[in-house]
């Protein structure tokens, strides 16, 4: 084997969204000759999870010098190693953006347990298992045994203990500087003397249009605020798919001129909206990290999120709500008193730190987990 062959094998069966964002952020810091990336487009997730191990087993060269294998949990690592035992000597790292043991489904009886079992097997085959949040790690580990209790005629035990020692939390690295290279834009926005629409707060909901982001709750809250005749405007953006959530039907007519952006935005327009926003809202019934919330917060939006899931790990208590009524009350009070809100927002940003979520802080930690020596990293200018 030539010593000039790539030493880092990166596999991403679902190369899109946050999965692509992570890989692109990491490889930017590597020399091009020292890694090889095998990927599939981010569609048909279920088929990627079922078949990508076999697909990549045929694609990855047998003549290689790989020392590290990095992949997301979409890949069934145990299957890949089973048919490609030449890869077993690699330092095998699996990264969990989410986990299928607790990923919400509309009907429990429709859950396909195979995806969860594949993730458990991948953890057993891996050397290092990384989660993007403590909530993700804890929810996975706490549900290993209940998941293994599903088979009706035998019980599997002591699997959690075998996995837990491999598990670590490494936050998702966000390139905040790519959102706005000029932090002064946000500083002006947060300045009480800035020339803004002083009487109307701009609410942002930047999430995927899917049931686990709970669009029904968003609509309920917005319509109640509108009924109470408080002044606000709102942007509903994020990725939308073929089916528009039932809750969004007729929303433009119901909110009228209050709804100033509706639908997926280009990256440039998305960032402009975040910079123009005052409050970013999550109504999620499930969230393992929340990149869009942190991006909006970096752009100067005050975050309001449920007091559950990953959010207590990231945001202080005053930013969290426990019930629908408490969310409505919080927004109602802020919308009635924009000046009071803006003073409160300034206080929030005086104490909130983005450092531990930044790519600048986190990427070196990823590379260290891979055992990548400094000569395999791009020289910094």
**What length is written for the chain?**
381
**How do the pLDDT tens digits run along the chain, 381 residues long?**
345 799 999 999 999 989 999 999 999 999 999 999 999 999 999 999 999 999 999 999 999 999 999 999 999 999 999 999 999 999 999 999 999 998 765 454 555 788 999 999 999 999 999 999 999 999 999 999 988 988 888 888 899 999 999 999 999 999 998 887 666 667 777 775 454 567 899 999 999 898 899 999 999 999 999 999 999 999 999 888 667 899 999 999 999 999 999 999 998 999 999 999 999 999 999 999 999 999 999 999 999 999 999 999 999 999 999 999 999 999 999 999 999 999 999 999 999 999 999 999 999 999 999 998 656 676 543
- Tokens 């692109």 locate to 24
Q: CA 107, CA 283: separation in Å to the nearest integer?
A: 20
Q: pTM of the predicted model, to two decimals?
A: 0.90
């Amino acid at each position: 084997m030539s010593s000039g062959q790539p030493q880092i094998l990166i596999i991403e069966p679902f190369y899109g969204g946050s999965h692509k964002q992570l890989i692109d952020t990491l490889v930017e810091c590597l020399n091009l000759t020292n890694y090889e990336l095998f990927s599939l487009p981010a569609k048909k997730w279920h088929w990627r999870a079922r078949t990508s191990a076999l697909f990549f087993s045929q694609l990855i060269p047998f003549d290689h010098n790989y020392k590290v294998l990095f992949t997301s949990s979409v890949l069934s690592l145990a299957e890949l190693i089973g048919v490609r035992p030449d890869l077993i000597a690699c330092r095998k790292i699996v990264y969990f953006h989410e986990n299928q043991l607790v990923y919400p489904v509309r009907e429990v009886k429709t859950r396909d347990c195979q995806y969860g079992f594949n993730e458990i097997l991948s953890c057993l085959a891996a050397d290092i298992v990384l989660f993007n949040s403590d909530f993700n790690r804890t929810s996975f580990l706490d549900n290993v045994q209940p998941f293994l209790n599903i088979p009706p005629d035998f019980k599997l035990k002591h699997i959690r203990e075998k996995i837990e020692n491999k598990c670590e939390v490494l936050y998702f690295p966000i390139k905040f500087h790519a959102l706005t290279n000029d932090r002064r834009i946000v500083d002006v926005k947060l300045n009480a003397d800035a020339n803004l629409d002083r009487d109307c707060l701009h609410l942002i909901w930047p999430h995927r249009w899917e049931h686990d982001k709970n669009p029904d709750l968003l609509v309920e809250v917005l319509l109640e605020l509108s009924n109470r005749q408080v002044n606000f405007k709102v942007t509903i953006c994020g990725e939308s798919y073929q089916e528009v959530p039932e809750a969004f039907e007729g929303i433009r007519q119901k909110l009228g001129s209050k709804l100033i952006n509706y639908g997926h935005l280009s990256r440039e327009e998305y960032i402009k909206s975040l910079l123009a926003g005052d409050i970013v809202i999550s109504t999620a019934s499930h969230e393992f990290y929340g990149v869009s919330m942190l991006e909006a917060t970096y752009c100067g939006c005050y975050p309001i999120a449920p007091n559950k899931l990953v959010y207590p790990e990231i945001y202080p208590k005053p930013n969290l709500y426990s019930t629908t009524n408490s969310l409505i009350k919080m927004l109602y009070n802020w919308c009635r008193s924009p000046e009071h809100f803006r003073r409160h927002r300034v206080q929030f940003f005086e104490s909130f730190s983005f450092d531990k979520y930044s790519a600048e802080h986190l990427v070196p930690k990823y590379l260290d987990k891979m055992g990548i020596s400094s000569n395999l990293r791009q020289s910094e200018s």
